[in-house]
Amino acid sequence: MRNKGNHPVVGLALSGGGARGLAHIGVLKVLEREGIPVDCLAGSSMGGIIAAAYAAGVTVAELEKEALRMAKLRELVKLVDPLPPRRGLLAGKRLRTFLSRFVDPDLTFRDLHLPLALTAVDLLSGEEIRLDQGPVIDALLATCAFPGVLPPVASNGHWLVDGGLLNNLPVDVVRNLGAEIVIASNVTPDSVQENPLEAPETLRLLPDFLWDSYRAITLLGRALTRIRIVDARPEVLIQPPLPSDIGIFSSFPRATEIIAVGEREADRCLPQLHKALQPEVVSMASITIGGS
């Protein structure tokens, strides 16, 4: 993959995390303000939504405006389309309608302004599936299909659910797109203190066992993400210190706060960001000529 300048290829990996993922918008604000390029992206779940919108040409300002609009309860309720509890609490049709505001339903990965890959998990085989072909909106529905809340997405013999189950921070995926420098934004919670009573009305109907499953899945994802960070070693790791009571489902009304935390942490990481992007300078004193 080539970029238009002479800088190394910069990839951005965005983790899942529901409402916590709005912090990625703050990170993008800093990258844009500092003129730090993004040449390719990978994301999971909410990180996948933001990555896809950015790759499709949606500006950071537009992303922030939409996030603040979604902070209003009446806008959140519009996403709720109850489904008889067989495959998921929600049918996902209204989510598709919402996503189409960022990504045209006919848009394919080939049509994007920037290379993009999303992650999902096949419930049948247990394998991680990389999504980088076909309609983008179908891939988004798959990477967001949190078990018990949204139904799995059937695709090419796979039964796809939320990519965060196995790879919530796809650093390795964006490297496979050609990234030489990876900036990773991780909002995976360290603990789960989300109050079900603060969730959108329909999600309050989740039986206790589903909330327990959600907590268990989140804690497992945290452990796997820590391992992957050690293995994948992103050049710059940004971890916005979001309060533990900012949850995946219930905290969209706190969008302003969440975005601000992401922006502050990205600002704090600026020395690392600029250092990672500096071309290596070879000292002439270290070069031996003619065996001297």
**From the DSSP assignment, how many helices (H) and strands (E) are in the chain?**
10, 8
Task: Tokens 């189409």: give the residue.
Answer: 100
Strands 128-131 and 116-122, bridge-based pairing: antiparallel
Q: Tell me the sheet residues that pair with 13.
A: 42, 184
Catalytic: 15? no
Is 100 in the active site?
no
d(CA 202, CA 199): 8
12: tokens are 């951005």
Interior angle at CA 76, CA 72 and CA 80, nearest 5? 160
Q: Measuring CA to CA, which residue among 155, 149, 94, 146 is closest to residue 124?
A: 155
Q: What is the dihedral of CA 145, 245, 229, 178, to 10 degrees?
A: 50
* φ and ψ of 95, to 5 deg: -65, -40
Catalytic residue among 15, 44, 45, 250: 45
Catalytic residue among 39, 122, 162, 172: 162
In the chain, the amino acid numbered 153 is V
Q: Which residues are catalytic?
A: 45, 162
